[in-house]
Structure 1
Amino acid sequence: MTRFAITGTDIFDGVRTRRNAALIVADGRIEEVREAVDLDPDLPVERLNGGTLAPGFVDIQVNGGGGVLLNDHPDVDGVRAICEAHAAFGTTSLLPTVITDREEVTFAAIDAVKTALARHVTGCGGIHVEGPFIALKRKGAHDAACVRTMTDEDVAKLCAVDLRPFLITVATESVKPEQIATLTRAGILVSIGHCDGSYEDVSAAIRAGARCVTHLFNAMSQLGHRTPGVVGAALDSADVWASIIADGHHVHPAMVDLALRAKKGENRMIAISDAMPTVGSAGDVFELGGRRATRQSGRLTLDDGTLAGCDISLHDAVRYLAGPVRLPLEEALRMATANPARFLDRETERGFLRSGAAADFVWLRDDLSLGRVWMNGRERRDEKSERLGQVARP
Structure 2
Amino acid sequence: MTEEARRTIAADIVFDGESAHRDCAVVTEGEDIVSLILRREIPRGANVVELPKGAWLAPGFIDIQVNGGGDVLFNDEPTPEGIATILHAHRKFGTTSLLPTLITDTDEKMIAAKRAVAEIMPHAPGALGVHFEGPFLSSERLGVHRADLRRAPQPHHVEMLAPPPGGVSLVTLAPEEAPPGFVSELVAAGCKLALGHSMATYAQTREAMSEGLTGFTHLFNAMRPLASREPGPIAAALESPFAYYGLIVDGEHVDPAMLRLALRAGLGHPMLVTDAMPPVGGCAQEFVLQGRTILAQDGRCVTADGTLAGAALDMASAVRNCVALLDLPLERALVFASTNPANFLGLGKRLGRLVAGYRADMTAFDPQSLRVISTWVAGERSAEEW
- With normalisation by structure 2, the TM-score equals 0.95
The 2-side partners of 1:6 and 1:172 are apart by 45
Give the aligned partner of residue 370 of structure 1. 372
SS at match of 1:9: strand
The answer on whether the counterparts of 2:117 and 2:164 sit within 8 Å (CA) in structure 1 is no
Task: Select 1:109's aligned residue among 105, 113, 130.
Answer: 113
Q: Which residue among 209, 218, 228 is the counterpart of 2:231?
A: 228
Offset, 1:125: 1.0
TM-fit CA distance, 1:252: 1.1
Distance 1:179 1:322, change over 3 A: same
| Structure 2 residue aligned with 1:314 | 315
Q: Map 1:219-368 to 2 at 5 A.
A: 219-265=222-268, 268-367=269-368, 368=370
The answer to whether 1:18 aligns with 2:28 is: no
Amino acid in the other structure paired with 1:377: G
Q: How big is the shift at 1:258?
A: 1.1
CA distance in 2 between partners of 1:125 and 1:161 (Å): 10
Change (3 A) 1:245 1:34: same
Residue from 55, 65, 76 that aligns with 1:61: 65
The aligned residue for residue 123 of structure 1 is 126
Greater CA drift, 344-353 or 213-222: 344-353
Q: Deviations over 1:296-355 (max 9, x none)?
A: 111100112110001111111111111111111111000001110111111232211111
1:20 & 1:155 partners in 2: Cα distance?
49
Partner residue, 1:189 = 192
**AA of the residue aligned to 2:277:** M
SS of aligned partner of 2:341: helix
Code of the residue aligned with 1:288 in structure 2: it is L
Deviation at 1:131, TM superposition (A): 0.1
Q: Deviations over 1:203-247 (max 9, x none)?
A: 110011101010000000011111111111111222221111111
1:40 aligns with 2:43: yes
2:172 corresponds to which of 169, 173, 180: 169
Counterpart Cα distance in 2 of 1:197 and 1:167: 19
C-alpha distance in 1 between matches for 2:247 and 2:286: 24
User: Residue by residue, what CA displacement relative to the aligned partner does 1:250-280 show, whole Å, maximum 9, x if unpaired?
Assistant: 0111111111111123xx1110011000101
Question: Counterpart in 2 of 1:75?
Answer: 79
1:392 aligned partner = none
Q: 2:254 aligns to what SS in structure 1?
A: coil
Give 2:384's aligned residue.
Answer: 382
Aligned partner of residue 40 in structure 2, secondary structure: coil
Is the Cα–Cα contact under 8 Å of residues 104 and 133 in structure 2 kept in the other structure?
Answer: yes
Deviation (angstroms), 1:160: 8.2
User: Per the alignment, in what secondary structure is the counterpart of residue 27 of structure 2?
Assistant: strand
The count of corresponding residues between Structure 1 and Structure 2 is 381
Secondary structure at 1:93 match in 2: strand
Deviation, structure 1 residue 376: 2.7
Q: Secondary structure at the match of 2:121?
A: helix
Q: Partners in 2 of 1:192 and 1:177 — Cα distance? A: 15
Give me the whole-angstrom Cα distance separating, in 2, the residues matched to 1:167 and 1:62: 12
Point out where structure 1 has 5 or more consecutive residues left out of the alignment: 386-394
Q: Does 2:115 align with 1:151? A: no
1:209 aligns with one of 195, 212, 223: 212
1:177: Cα distance to partner? 4.6
Match of 1:96 among 82, 86, 100: 100
2:260 and 2:336 map into 1 onto residues whose CA distance is 13
Q: How many percent of aligned residue pairs carry the same amino acid?
A: 39
Deviations 1:53-84 (A, max 9, x none): 10111010100000100100011111111111
CA distance in 2, matches of 1:160, 1:89: 27
How far residue 93 of structure 1 moved from its aligned partner, in angstroms, is: 0.4
Which secondary structure does the structure 2 equivalent of 1:83 belong to? helix
Q: What is the CA–CA distance in structure 1 between the aligned matches of 2:319 and 2:25, rounded to whole Å? A: 23
Cα distance in 1 for partners of 2:86, 2:99 equals: 10
- Aligned CA distance change for structure 1 residues 8 and 154 (closer, same or farther; 3 Å): closer
1:317 corresponds to which letter in structure 2? A
Deviation at 1:36, TM superposition (A): 2.4
**Are the counterparts in 1 of residues 65 and 275 from structure 2 also a CA contact under 8 Å?**
yes
Query: 1:36-67 CA deviation, whole Å, 9 max, x = no partner?
Result: 23321121333331131101110101000001
Distance 1:129 1:4 in 2: 37
Verify the 8 A CA contact 2:360 2:376 in the aligned structure 1.
yes
Name the residue aligned to 1:391: none
User: Which residue number corresponds to residue 28 of structure 1?
Assistant: 31
Residue pair 1:56, 1:92 contacting (<8 A) in 2 also: yes
Cα distance in structure 2, aligned partners of 1:8 and 1:157? 45
Distance (whole Å) between structure 2 residues aligned to residue 155 and residue 281 of structure 1: 35
Separation (CA, whole Å) in 1 of partners of 2:366 and 2:164: 42
